[in-house]
Structure formats: C-alpha cells, structure tokens
Amino acid sequence: MALVTAGTVVLDCAEPERLAVIYAELLGARQTEASANRIEIRAADGVRMAFRRDASATPPSRPRTENLLQAHLDFVAADLDAAERRVVALGGRPVEAGNTPGPYEERGFCDPAGHSFTLRRGTPPTAPEQG
C-alpha cells in the first residue's frame, strides 16, 4: 500500500492568475479553487495544478546553470506543431531549438514566469475510470 498519494503540483509565481489561464488551456482544465494568493485547476484526467502568489519568486534560469531547475513538467501532445503554436500564443517561449525527430521527439519551453516544461510527442493517456 502506498504511504502517500499524489497531491497537487504547485508553482510559485508573481502572477498566479496568468499562469492558471495558460495551464488550464493547455490541459483542458477547469478552475476548482481560488483565493487571493492561490488558484487551483484540475484536468479531466485528474491532474491538479496550483499557482501560488509569491512576489519574490525567482524564476529558474534554464538553460543557464545558476538557479537551474526548481521543477520541470512534461506534457504529451499528439500534434507537437499545434501545441507549440498554442504555447507561444499563450506567452510561453522556446528554450531548446534542437528537435529530435522520431517517437521521442520533444521540445522545451518556459512559461511567462520562467518555469520549464517539455512537450513530448505521443498519445495523451485516457482519463481514469471514475467510480
């Protein structure tokens, strides 16, 4: 039996409202909780993320080595080109130019607060059965 269960991935940032909108759109999620300093979203597949206000949050400096990675997120997309266009339209920026073709193709990005994430080619998992 597991000692703990997965909770919520929480990203500290200066503008939680902005990040909540971006990640909600990318994940097809809906807002489940909100306060002055925290917004939580939940996707249909059960993934939960929260964005906590921290006016002194220091963005990770990826790809530079100082203050490198505080967290890294991986997302799966069937159509990497469409996903990349949407990420950029929502304010994300590419951080790795090298695309590796094939079944493990991935592309690196940072959200507007500097958190890094990767889009990987693949088929998104189906939502778990409810019941």
C-alpha angle 82-84-118 in degrees, rounded to nearest 5: 130
Q: Does domain 58-124 have CATH number 3.40.50.720?
A: no
Domain with CATH 3.10.180.10 in the chain: 58-124
Torsion sign, CA atoms 62, 63, 65, 71: positive
Instruction: List the chain pLDDT tens, one digit each, 131 residues.
Output: 654 567 789 898 999 999 999 999 999 999 999 999 999 999 999 999 999 998 888 776 655 555 555 667 888 888 889 999 999 999 999 986 555 555 568 888 989 988 888 888 876 555 555 54
pTM above 0.75, yes or no: no
pLDDT at position 106, please?
83
Q: Coil, strand, or helix at residue 110?
A: strand
Specify the domain boundaries for CATH 3.30.720.120 within the chain: 7-55
Evaluate whether 73 touches 32 at the Cβ level (below 8 Å). no
The fold adopted by the segment(s) 7-55 is 3.30.720
